[in-house]
Amino acid sequence: MFVRIARFRIKPQILNLLILYRTMVRPGFFCFLLVVFRQRRQAGKYIKELGEYSGKSENEVRRLFYDEEVAENVWRRVKPETEEEILRFYAETEECLFSNLRWHALDTQKFTSRFMLADFCRRHKVKTVLDYGGGAGEYCIFLSKNGLDVTYCDVYGVPWKFSKWRFERRGLPVKMLRANQDKLGKYDLILCTDVLEHVKNPLKVLSELHDALNMNGYLCATFPFSYPKEQHLFENRKYANTIEKDLVEMGFRFVEEDYLKYYKKQR
């Protein structure tokens, strides 16, 4: 399979390397255009896939996909407050699928982070990965295609079932866990991106992830606690100033950062 650009044909593997080069080495204009091209192409694939799964018309899928407030509007209407209500929101809200995949496709940092994550896993000889709060399963798909042993974990409901459908139709051996129901295993790396700002007691979640890491394993996470978004719990904003100290106290050491932050478990 080839990607056509004008008269030229570029294998997807080569395109991925060029994107990684653009993000890590030299952000030139040509490489930037490749990233934009790949993002738009990916958005088209997501729209088609969402239509096949949901049974909605292409126009309706496009409307939901490009509406930046689609999940936020449901949150404002439902107004979840308790932990149970918040978990139910993420389990039952179909609009989160559209919001999640739009973000993976059209946010340049989010889109390119998968390439840098795969490169980190290669450099640090990571074999087993848990994606905690895996959403629509995009990181799991990419990492599994790159030969890693991947486990998906999220609340059981709409995103969980959609992700399972996505893995099966691609023939990917991604393991499935239900958050707060199934026991976590042991992993070389745990991915927890844009999750903790949405949950009650994020330090408790981090402690559980720490226990699920192999010694000298890696936590790969983001902490947008202070980013002003209604789905980001206001009570969690205090962690924006303390999270680095909290991680050190748990036994993590900072390793490196691109869009994602990497920490090594040392005790």
Do both 28 and 123 map to the same domain? no
Domain boundary among 54, 71, 86: 54
Angle, vertex CA 157, rays to CA 155 and CA 159, nearest 5 = 80
Residues 135 and 211 both lie in one domain: yes
CATH of the domain at 183: 3.40.50.150
Ranges of residues in the chain whose predicted pLDDT is under 70: 1-36
Please say whether the beta carbons of 260 and 195 come within 8 A. no
Q: Are residues 133 and 30 in the same domain?
A: no
Whether 64 is covered by a domain: the verdict is: no
Residues 42 and 113 occupy one common structural domain: no
d(CA 202, CA 40): 34
- pTM, to two decimals: 0.87
Taking the C-alpha atoms of residue 131 and residue 44, their distance in angstroms, rounded to an integer, is: 24
Considering the domain architecture, whether residues 185 and 118 belong to the same structural domain is answered as yes
Does residue 46 share a domain with residue 113? Answer: no
Q: Is the dihedral of CA 169, 174, 176, 179 positive or negative?
A: negative
In terms of domains, do 125 and 241 share one?
yes
- Report if residue 59 sits inside a domain: no
Predicted confidence at residue 3, as pLDDT, reads 36
Indicate if 46 and 119 belong to the same structural domain.
no
Asked whether residue 70 is domain-assigned, the answer is: no
If asked whether residues 40 and 151 sit together in one domain, one would say no
137 shares a domain with 46: no
Give residue-wise pLDDT tens across range 112-133: 899 999 999 999 999 999 999 9
Question: Cβ(97)–Cβ(162) under 8 Å?
Answer: yes
pLDDT at 41: 87
Strand (E) or helix (H) holding 140: helix 138-145
Domain for residue 66, yes or no?
A: no
User: What's the domain range around 199?
Assistant: 107-265
Return the SS3 of 261.
strand
Query: Are the CB atoms for 206 and 242 separated by under 8 Å?
Result: no
Residues 126 and 236 occupy one common structural domain: yes
Do 136 and 159 meet the contact criterion of CB atoms below 8 Å apart? Answer: yes
Closest listed residue to residue 186, CA positions, set 207, 156, 209: 209
Q: What is the pLDDT of residue 13?
A: 55
On whether residue 239 sits in a domain, the answer given is yes
- Closest among 141, 39, 155, 172 to 96, alpha carbons compared: 155
Which residues pair with residue 156 across a beta bridge?
none
Pairing of strands 213-221, 261-265: antiparallel
**Does residue 184 form part of some domain?**
yes
The whole-number pLDDT of residue 10 equals 42
d(CA 21, CA 248) in angstroms, rounded, equals 32
Domain count, the chain: 2
Q: What is the DSSP string of 39-52?
A: HHHHHHHHHHHHHH
Cα distance between residue 16 and residue 116, in whole Å: 10
Q: Is residue 76 part of a domain?
A: no
Domain-located, residue 89: no
**Residue 249 sits in the same domain as residue 182:** yes
> Residue 187 has what pLDDT?
98
Token reading at 186:
């042991």
